[in-house]
């Protein structure tokens, strides 16, 4: 795996590799994506193989700009345009009716397609050179911890992809919000940095997704998981379980009274916690402890996206 840096020469090389049908891990503001030319079905198939990703798990298409939107979406409902104007480019994925020529491998045979325009400058510079979209799920084995540094990518995909472009740590740290605009009423299918409160002035959001909502990435019951057994408890249960901490790698906002085998104190605000989350899970996974224990942050709307990731990454303790 080549290590690329943010120089004009390496950005040219990243675009050239993608144009040849090879895979390149690229930084976004959320997590590193495993990018392949979205117009090349063989390159897209290689993404599935590298991640060991099931074929029924659709991909997000990252657009070079707004001018590419109608090459993939059959239509855009009127309520979507104020959202696009306010939040694109950014950490927001829109699920829209797909054009009939969208390759089935992209949307797993559904009649919708998930589209995003990222605001990461390095990704944008690569796409400006490529002048075509990329499919780019997180650059990690399927259901494992998402990568927020180039080193995370190398640790999991060395020898399986052509290159990784090192853009430093990701600023947001968890995957994009996925907003479904394909049905009768908009709904968030995956929470992220763009919250329901932020979208509410623009849309009449459903409180929860309909049972027949499109399948989207990152919504399995077990996802984002370390290789070590990973468990979770609520903060109110933490002290009564403290005796167990001596054998665990522990992530918590509050410092424990009983010293754990390994401890990472997490930030006390949702945005900072999200940015640190996956890096902390990667460190805990490499701590040589027999298991990982996460003390959950508050069950409040501001923490919805972080808790969503942790509830999927960790099983209940006990």
| Superfamily designation of domain 2-199 | DHBP synthase (3.90.870.10)
Q: What is the pLDDT of residue 260?
A: 84
Fold annotation for 230-316: Rossmann fold (3.40.50)
Domain with CATH 3.90.870.10 in the chain: 2-199
How many residues are given for the chain?
A: 318
Query: Could you read off the pLDDT of 27-77 as tens digits, one per residue?
Result: 999 999 999 999 999 999 999 999 999 999 999 999 999 999 999 999 999
Q: What whole-number distance in Å separates Cα of residue 161 and Cα of residue 134?
A: 15
Q: What whole-number distance in Å separates Cα of residue 142 and Cα of residue 23?
A: 16
Q: What whole-number distance in Å separates Cα of residue 23 and Cα of residue 2?
A: 11
Domain with CATH 3.40.50 in the chain: 230-316
Q: What whole-number distance in Å separates Cα of residue 64 and Cα of residue 72?
A: 12
Q: What is the pLDDT of residue 317?
A: 83
CB distance 297 to 307 below 8 Å: yes
What one-character DSSP code corresponds to residue 266?
P
CB distance 89 to 69 below 8 Å: no
Strands 60-62 and 134-135 turn out to be antiparallel
User: What are the residue ranges of helices labelled H in the chain?
Assistant: 8-19, 41-51, 80-87, 104-107, 121-130, 150-157, 196-199, 270-285, 304-313
What averages of pLDDT result for each successive group of 10 residues across the chain (318 residues)? 97 98 98 98 97 94 97 95 97 97 94 98 98 97 95 95 98 98 94 97 89 85 87 85 76 86 95 98 93 95 97 90
């Amino acid at each position: 795996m080549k290590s690329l840096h943010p120089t004009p020469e390496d950005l040219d090389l990243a675009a050239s590799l993608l144009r040849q049908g090879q895979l390149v891990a690229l930084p976004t503001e959320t997590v590193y994506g495993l990018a392949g030319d979205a117009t090349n079905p063989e390159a897209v198939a290689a993404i599935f193989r590298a991640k060991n990703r099931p074929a029924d798990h659709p991909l997000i298409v990252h657009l070079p700009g707004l001018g590419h939107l109608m090459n993939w979406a059959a239509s855009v409902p009127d309520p979507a345009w104020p959202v696009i104007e306010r939040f694109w480019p950014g950490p927001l994925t829109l699920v829209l009716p797909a054009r009939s020529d969208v390759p089935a491998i992209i949307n797993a045979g559904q009649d919708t397609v998930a589209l995003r325009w990222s605001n990461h400058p390095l990704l944008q510079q690569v796409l400006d050179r490529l002048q075509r979209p990329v499919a780019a799920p997180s650059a990690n084995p399927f259901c494992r911890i998402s990568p927020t540094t180039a080193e995370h990518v190398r640790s999991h995909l060395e020898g399986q992809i052509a290159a990784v472009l090192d853009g430093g740590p990701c600023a947001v740290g968890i995957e994009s919000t996925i907003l479904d605009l394909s049905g009768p009423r908009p709904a968030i299918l995956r929470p992220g940095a763009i919250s329901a409160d932020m979208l509410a002035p623009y849309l009449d959001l459903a409180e929860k997704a309909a049972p027949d909502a499109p399948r989207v990435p990152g919504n399995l019951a077990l996802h984002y998981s370390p290789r070590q057994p990973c468990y979770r408890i609520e903060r109110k249960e933490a002290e009564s379980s403290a005796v167990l901490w001596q054998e665990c790698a522990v992530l918590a906002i509050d410092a424990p009274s009983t010293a754990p085998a390994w401890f990472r104190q997490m930030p006390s605000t949702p945005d900072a916690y999200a940015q640190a989350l996956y890096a902390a899970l990667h460190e805990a996974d490499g701590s040589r402890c027999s298991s990982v224990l996460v003390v959950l942050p508050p069950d409040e709307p501001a923490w919805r996206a972080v808790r969503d990731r942790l509830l999927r990454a960790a099983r209940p303790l006990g």
